[in-house]
Amino acid sequence: MKEMPDILWLEEIRKEDIPAVGGKGASLGEMSAIGLPVPRAFVVTSYAFRQFLVEAGLDKTIFADLAEVDVDNSVDLEKAATRAKDAVMKARIPALLKKKIKSAYEEMEDSRMVVAVRSSATAEDLPDASFAGQQETYLNVKGEKNLLFAIQKCWASLYGARAIYYRAKQGFDHQSVNIAVVIQQLVFSEKAGVMFTSHPVTGEQQSIIEGSWGLGEAVVSGSVSPDKYVFDQKSEKVVDRLIANKRYQIISSGENGTKTVEVRKDIQDAPLLTDDEVRKLAAFGKVAETHYGVPQDVEWGIVGDNIYILQSRPITTIRASAQATPPAETGTEKILLQGQGASPGIASGKVVIVRDVKDTGIVKDGDIMVTQMTNPDMVPAMRKVAAIVTDEGGMTCHAAIVSRELGTPAVVGTKTGTQVLRNGQTVTVDGEKGLIYEGALTISREKTRAVESIAAPVITATSVKVNVSMPEAAARAAATGADGVGLLRIEHLILGLNKTPGWFIANNREEEFIQELYRGIKTVLDAFYGKPVWVRTLDAPTDEFRNMAGGETEPIEHNPMLGWRGIRRDLQSADQFRLQVEAFKRLWEQGYDNLGIMFPMVSHPQEFIRAREMMKQWGVDVDNATLGVMIEIPSSAILIQDFINAGIRFASFGTNDLIQYTLAIDRNNQHVAGMYQPKHPAVLALIDSAIQCCRENGVEVSICGQAGSEPPMVKWLVEHGITSVSANIDAIAKIRETVARTEKQILLESARSRNA
């Protein structure tokens, strides 16, 4: 390699500098040179990386090791990757290089020293090798120490299992692949997204722009459904506009990270871009495309009136003829599902629902892989399948990009693919039209165009969530298509350990307890990725702990049901509460923003306030955490306004207890079972007034007691304005139907009364 500087500023870079600054760096340099609004950046070159490898002696060890690996053996591959990454992370950055990086960073003063650090591999971003997510990106990096750490992480990412696998399969030699790192002023986009400067499937002269509120990561990762604008370059008009419900956004969390928060209600459904902004973006895109001579895949962000072009790389997969050969038609096509045609072609096969990368082991050649959203770990499986269907994402999500590159038909953003389609079911995927048909069909193009009515999935305005107690039931619960988890009872998880929380503390095995909790909850969060999961803090009565190790120290209570359980126990035994909070905290730190915490057995707002204060003391960002309460003691229903004033984000009726405490009927006592009435007028009065109060205050109000799995009660609840219900796994289908029917009846009746 010829001598090159360790650091290059964007202004010094041209597209021929790929060997030094990688595809991303070179592309940014070119963009800035042609006058596009690129945020300030410098690149730690591949030369600097090489020097680092050589000075640390890693060039000798790593490459020899990688040459031996059988990449099709995933255990070997993982081990080799871990060895290589560890070696990179442990090695020292040469002192002179460190100094140069620090002084370049200091020069970026106007960036408020907050930068994005992105790897820029010298083989990445090139035609035929654009595997999205292959290497690292760190947003919001602040301070020299964090910057150096992020750079080293980027270097290490060159030796991730995925990257090693791709290189081996694509015939790249590990030795000749280098990595540069781009350090760029972070633009705190108010809205952001991606743009294809020509249609990525047909190559037409259209700019396809997708965007959502907040930072662009949400759109790139496919974790939100973005707005989509199609700008026709000939007529210079916006010819298509799809405004999505943009409920969540990723924003800076102030420290070295980002967080997902709900978008302000009034702008969730508002168009993201004005026509003028679409036109300007398209114009910038065209400048880039013209300059590079090939259509570009551009990341953009907008702050106030300023448009920034954040990244640009060639679209690698526009084909002159994207049409699959239309086979003969049978005339019996039934459309099961619709989404966006992200990668053209028609394929039939057996559905395999992939909920987790672990499921990819069951994927066989020729299957139809159906998944919420693909991620880089799934790529080996994506290679095998005949077609890919995802619930989420747009034309630029991971699944779309990789499928196009693999030449695999794909339909993305079906919303309900993983619910509507069943494992083993034979379907036909049309990756151009975005349709999934029942059976192995032969379809003519005209016929698919002529199809007009598409079966709509059952969508209810009232969310229908599911109750989960054991993490192993999470997948089955998720398979119901529930809108989230309205109650995760963690005591089942803890009871399964056969030791009381006190035992773990007394035996100095706190970490073990935290880990068990963390793992169990994570299983559920993963199964419900992107959907709310309300985890309830410990609520086991003392008699249930009695027979476990440590049970001998549990107090003996005459009436455990009215005793030391729920939040009252946690507030008095801070150690036990702290261990639970530690597990929650780790999950939040891992980015599980779908985690909400629900306190059981609250009877006074002070209990909520105290619990939140304790969480805050233990380092939880309580202002941004979703914290709510169960309403299962009449006092909490009566004082609901005070709870709302105290800051609860949601409330959920625990009718199992609410009924027993309102009517003085032991829920477990068969002698009085006949008097245990969910629809007792006193119970309904408490519920009704609490619902109205929550609604007036914009607080989500739900039910997670057994009554939420009973159609007549659910009908009443929907009529009285409940915002969500959470039912048992087996009841989801009938509850969803009850909710849908009740909602329709309400609409019908209101239409009739208007006409009367």
Residue ranges that bind ligand PEP, judged by CB under 6 A: 487, 489, 539, 632, 654-657, 704-705
Measured from the CB of residue 483, what is the shortest distance to ligand PEP in angstroms? 18
Question: Least Å distance between CB 619 and ligand PEP?
Answer: 28
Bridge-partner residues for 488, per DSSP? 468, 535
What is the closest distance, in whole angstroms, from the C-beta atom of residue 539 to ligand PEP in the complex?
Answer: 6
- Least Å distance, CB 707 to ligand PEP, is 8
For residue 694, the minimal CB distance to ligand PEP (Å) is 17
User: What does DSSP assign to residue 4?
Assistant: -
Q: Which is nearer to ligand PEP, 108 or 704 (CB)?
A: 704
Query: Coil, helix or strand for 214?
Result: strand
d(CA 693, CA 695): 5
Nearest Cα residue to 580 out of 636, 641, 521: 521
According to DSSP, residue 204 is labeled: -
Please check whether residue 363 is in contact with residue 381, taking contact to mean a CB–CB distance below 8 angstroms.
Answer: yes
State which residue, 411 or 627, has the beta carbon closest to Mg ion.
Answer: 627
Task: Give min distance, CB of 705 to ligand PEP, in A.
Answer: 3
Q: Closest CB to ligand PEP among 393 and 708?
A: 708
Q: Across-strand partners of 207?
A: 231
* Closer residue to ligand PEP (CB): 349 or 705: 705
State the DSSP code for 250.
Answer: E
Residue with tokens 């959470």: 726
704 binds, among Mg ion, ligand PEP, none (CB under 5 to 8 A by kind): ligand PEP
Comparing CB distances to ligand PEP, the nearer of 180 and 490 is: 490
Q: Say what the alpha-carbon torsion angle 619, 621, 623, 627 is, to the nearest 10 degrees.
A: -80
The verdict on 632 binding Mg ion (CB under 5 A) reads yes
CA distance 273 to 262: 19
Q: Of the residues 398, 492, 671, 680, which is catalytic?
A: 398
> Catalytic: 693?
no
Q: Are strands 258-262 and 626-631 parallel, antiparallel or unpaired?
A: unpaired
Q: Read off the tokens for 135.
A: 């290497």
Residue with tokens 């079972």: 673
Binding mask 555-594 vs Mg ion (x if CB under 5 A, - otherwise)?
Answer: ----------------------------------------
Nearer to ligand PEP, 309 or 468 (CB): 468
Site of tokens 């027979």? 547
Q: Tokens 């304790």 belong to which residue?
A: 614
In DSSP notation, 30-50 reads HHHHTT--PPPEEEE-HHHHH
The site partner of 501 among Mg ion, ligand PEP, none (C-beta below 5 to 8 Å per kind) is: none
Give yes or no for residue 657 binding Mg ion (CB under 5 A).
yes
Of 154, 693, 694, 704, the active-site residue reads 704
How far is 85 from 163, CA to CA, in rounded Å? 12
Q: Residue 479 touches which of ligand PEP, Mg ion, none (CB < 5 to 8 A by kind)?
A: none
Question: Rounded to a whole number, what is the distance in angstroms from the first to the last CA of the chain?
Answer: 84
Task: Look up residue 63 and give its two tokens.
Answer: 């490459």
Q: 337 is in the binding site of which of Mg ion, ligand PEP, none (Cβ under 5 to 8 A by kind)? A: none
CB-wise, 88 or 487, nearer to ligand PEP?
487
Q: How many residues bind Mg ion (CB under 5 A)?
A: 3
> In the complex, what is the shortest distance from the CB of residue 630 to ligand PEP, in angstroms, rounded to a whole number?
7
Q: How far is the CB of 486 from ligand PEP (least distance, A)?
A: 9
DSSP state of 534: E
199 is catalytic: no
Q: Select 76 or 544, whichever has its Cβ closest to ligand PEP.
A: 544
Query: What does 628 interact with, of Mg ion, ligand PEP, none (CB < 5 to 8 A by kind)?
Result: none
286 binds, among Mg ion, ligand PEP, none (CB under 5 to 8 A by kind): none
Alpha helix (H) ranges present in 158-274? Answer: 161-170, 217-220, 265-268
Among 654, 659, 706, 710, binds Mg ion (CB under 5 A): 654
Residue 405 site contact among Mg ion, ligand PEP, none (CB < 5 to 8 Å, cut-off depends on kind)? none
489 binds, among ligand PEP, Mg ion, none (CB under 5 to 8 A by kind): ligand PEP
**DSSP per residue, 643-711:** HHHHT-SEEEE-HHHHHHHHHT--TT-GGGGGG--TT-HHHHHHHHHHHHHHHHTT-EEEE-SGGGGSH
In angstroms, the CA 78 to CA 66 distance is 11
For the CB of residue 494, give the shortest distance to Mg ion in the complex, in Å.
16
C-alpha–C-alpha distance, residues 608 and 628, integer Å: 8
Residue 309: Cβ within 10 Å count: 24
Q: What share of the chain is helix, strand, coil (3-state, %, to 5)?
A: 45, 20, 35
Three-state secondary structure string covering 577-598: HHHHHHHHHHHHHCCCCCEEEE
Is 437 in contact with 427 (CB distance < 8 Å)? Answer: yes
Q: Which one, 124 or 539, has the nearer CB to ligand PEP?
A: 539
Closest separation in Å from C-beta 696 to ligand PEP: 24
Please name the residues in contact with 290: beta carbons below 8 A apart, sequence gap of 6 or more: none
Measured from the CB atom, the residue of 267 and 682 that comes closer to ligand PEP is 682
Q: Which amino acid is at 562?
A: L
Q: Are strands 368-371 and 387-390 parallel, antiparallel or unpaired?
A: parallel
User: Which of 266-274, 334-342, 529-537, 625-633 is the region at the interface with Mg ion (rule: CB under 5 A)?
Assistant: 625-633
Scanning 525-533, 639-647, 656-664, 694-702 for contacts with Mg ion by CB under 5 A, the matching segment is: 656-664
Find out whether 303 and 214 touch, Cβ atoms under 8 Å: no
Q: Interface with Mg ion by CB under 5 A: which residues?
A: 632, 654, 657
Indicate which residues carry an active-site annotation: 398, 704
